[in-house]
Amino acid sequence: MKKLYNSKNSMPDDMIDGFVNAYPDIVKKGSNNRVVLRTHKKDKNKVSLLIGNGSGHEPIAMGFVGEGILDANVVGDIFAAPSSDLILEGIKETYNDAGSILLISRHEGDVINGKAACVDANDEGMNVKPFLMYDDISSAPKGKEEDRRGAAGTIFIYKILGAAAEKNMTIEELMLLGERVRSNTRTLGVAINSGISPITNKSMFTLPDDEVFIGMGVHGEPGVARRKLTTVKDLVFFMMSKILEDKDIKSGTTVIVLINGMGGSTLMELYSVFNEVNKFLKEKLIENVSPMIGSFSTTQETAGFSISLLIPDDLMLSLWRAPHITPNFPLIR
């Protein structure tokens, strides 16, 4: 498999340089090249919001930095969490009088390094709270939600908390709002072809041509089951049934649907997936509003997708639709 790069070691830094030079009115580099900041810092009386994560999954989270969502993204090496010291630098660059929230997608390295950075920040007199994000129903059974991985459904938390922070919510209010969003979000993914690791130039997993992996993680973690590749309708029916088994969604409920491509699936395919999800929900008399469809949390050229559902209250829905200025987060209607 061919990849475009100057050198493997320089890939994240070359990417960041290109990114900030493409959108100078929205993002800039911090004192450390691996800290991507919004160009126009928010008012000090508003809570700042940031996240650290490994590179190789773009546009998440770098592409969501900007007014109305993230104040910073601390970028690690490919598929590797940034160090606690680097995350602490990002916290210091974005810290406001109202405090800061560090979003942490629940993966081992991100959790360890993120929590350590928060401890160090608080030891230095800052008010920084870690917020763990998890939504992947394939990674732990019902009743053990806190053991689940973070997946594409964490995007709901980015956007809703980012918009709420702009409206002067306190750090305590934001943490409670984040808990409500998290408890009302479920995600299930499927991979049909492996991506290629930029580090090894090898496939991250193998799969027969007529099979799919249910529950594949964003770092190529093994799925929970294999199924024969059939129609989009059959696959979506299976996945939606699993999601509704995990989270009871009654007729008359309103949901937001997020269809996330893993990097190697076309919009033609993703819109076909959404069409089947929409038909499934209509049959259940569940209203689908303000969807988001595209490739946002990716694993190189992995072919596949995930379905995320959020059951929003009126506040969540208004914040989901709130305006923002970022390089890669789409307009939500």
Phi, psi of 325 (to 5 degrees): -130, 100
Instruction: Give the H/E segment covering residue 316.
Output: helix 314-320
Q: What's the pLDDT band for 1 if we cut at 50, 70, 90?
A: low
pLDDT at residue 201 in the model: 85
Task: Write the DSSP string, 187-255.
Answer: EEEEEEE--B-TTTSSBS----TTEEEET--TT-PPPSEEEE---HHHHHHHHHHHHHHHS---TT-EE
pLDDT at 48: 98
CATH 3.40.50.10440 domain residues, the chain: 11-137+144-183
User: How many other C-beta atoms are found inside a 10 Å radius of the C-beta of residue 229?
Assistant: 15
CA dihedral of residues 107, 110, 116, 117 (deg, nearest 10):
-150
**Identity of residue 223:** G
Token reading at 259: 């269809």
Q: What architecture does CATH give domain 185-311?
A: 2-Layer Sandwich (3.30)
Using a 10 angstrom Cβ sphere, with 0-12 exposed, 13-18 middle and 19 or more buried, the burial of residue 123 is: exposed
Whether the per-residue pLDDT at 178 is higher than 90: the answer is yes
Of 58, 71, 55, 146, residue with least CA distance to 328: 58
Distance CA 207, CA 159 (A): 34
Average pLDDT of the chain is 96
pLDDT in tens, 55-76: 999 999 999 999 999 999 999 9
- Give percent of the chain with pLDDT exceeding 70: 99
Q: Report the pLDDT value the prediction gives residue 207, as an integer from 0 to 100.
A: 87
Catalytic residue check, 57: yes
Rounded Cα–Cα distance for residues 104 and 90 (Å): 14
What is the DSSP code string of 293-312? Answer: EE--S--TTBEEEEEEEE--
In the chain, CATH 3.30.1180.20 sits at: 185-311
Give the residue from 278, 282, 293 showing the smallest Cα distance to 330.
293
**273-297 exposure pattern, b = at least 16 Cβ within 10 A, e = fewer:** bbebbbebbeebebebebebbebbb
Residues 76-102: what's their mean pLDDT?
97
Give the sign of the dihedral formed by CA 4, CA 10, CA 11, CA 13.
negative
pLDDT of residue 309: 98
- Sign of the torsion angle spanned by Cα atoms 189, 193, 196, 202: positive
For position 222, what pLDDT does the model report? Answer: 66
Q: What superfamily does domain 11-137+144-183 belong to in CATH? A: Dihydroxyacetone kinase; domain 1 (3.40.50.10440)
pLDDT digits (tens, 9 = 90+) for 248-285: 999 999 999 999 999 999 999 999 999 999 999 999 99
pLDDT per residue as tens digits for the range 194-236: 888 888 888 888 889 899 999 987 776 767 789 999 999 999 9
Q: Name the catalytic one among 40, 107, 219, 324.
A: 219
Name the nearest CA neighbour of 325 among 35, 103, 43, 27: 27
- What's the pLDDT score for residue 136? 97
